[in-house]
Amino acid sequence: MNTDEEPFAKRRRMIKESKARWLARQSRESLDRILAAYRRRIEAETPAQSEARRERDAEAHRLVRDCQRQRSRDEGIHFIEAQVETHNCGPMNIICQFCKSKNFAAERSSDGKFTSCCRRGKIKLEKPSDTQGNDLLYPNFLLGLLTNPNNPDYKKFHDNIRSYNSAVSFASMEAKVVDFSGGGLCVFKVHGQICHSACHIQSVIGQVPQHAQLYLIDSTQAT
């Protein structure tokens, strides 16, 4: 049976190869016709049309290069993210024995005490109290923003709480930030030392208000 099928298999292979050669010849002829028509159209162009065409071609090439660069950046980001190992600090539920603050377990020193919050109890803050000596409770309107999901501003407060805290802080970060030109990953690089600049509640006469002074003294300027 194999002997009878060999001539048919050979015939089918010859037909397939002949068809492939015909398609290749047609493709070459079609490409030659397209190139010839393109050359004729270029030769018939006016100087203004030639300049406009070159500008379109340059813009198209620029878009292609930008797409290729963006694709390379995306591939680089995905590669880096795939190599990064996820680290979990665990729950922030370890209570300092001195100031009762919550800390991560890894922040605890070898003696089981914390230094980042109160330096092992060396720093002590008095509780705020009124004129009668009663402890001042947490303001109800802030407590509602923080803990009451039915508050209309609850979600907005949680989404922007860091920005709110920074806006009314009494100190701001100052550093020499290195500027990266061109595209690529978003990088915030600091050269040298980071400082926190603080100020008095009221600005010095002749000095422009800064930091928390804007929000405590001149709310119009802050807005």
For 178-192, how does the pLDDT look when each residue is reduced to its tens digit (9 = 90+)? Answer: 776 666 666 777 778
Q: Give the CA distances from residue 221 to residues 167, 193, 202, 211, 214, in Å, rounded to whole numbers and listed in that order.
A: 13, 30, 14, 12, 7
| CB neighbourhood size of 203 (10 A) | 16
pLDDT of 153 reads: 92
Task: State whether the Cα torsion 200-201-207-209 is positive or negative.
Answer: positive
For 84-96, how does the pLDDT look when each residue is reduced to its tens digit (9 = 90+)? Answer: 777 888 999 999 9
Q: Where are the domains of the chain?
A: 9-71, 92-125, 126-168
H-helix or E-strand spanning residue 173: strand 171-178
Which DSSP letter does residue 195 get? E
| CB neighbourhood size of 114 (10 A) | 22
Pick the more confident residue, 180 or 155: 155
| Mean pLDDT score of the chain | 79
